[in-house]
Structure 1
């Protein structure tokens, strides 16, 4: 399942540099996560780094983009070989 940054984001700039897939970028009002690039850090780390560094806990699983751990790993392998 890809992650989603909620509208409560304060644009603190903590998550963007932490994403190993470069899936996070500034949207119209708050940061956004590109679901095509988000692997929840599978293949890189034990847990999503953006969630770990978010000071207000506004990064949650995206219920509209449910993916299994196997699908996330396959996405990682497609992007990083």
Structure 2
């Protein structure tokens, strides 16, 4: 641990599992899931093959405002890039 961060540490003394208390298992599973939901309703689908990793950006329920397809796709892609 970096010396300037030592003050942030404390020893876990509870008999309850820290992973269960802070839902770390759930968060790890969600982070490693193949499909990642975006706040707007769109999603990312991440597939790994021997030759490449493919990231598919889907608009899903995200329609944007005004129904302009180009604007919707652009906003969805920007959100995915964040």
TM-score after normalising by structure 2: 0.23
Which has the higher relative contact order, 1 or 2, with Cα contacts under 8 A spaced 6 or more apart?
Answer: 1
Q: Which of 1 and 2 has greater Rg?
A: 2
Which structure dedicates a bigger proportion of its chain to helix? 2
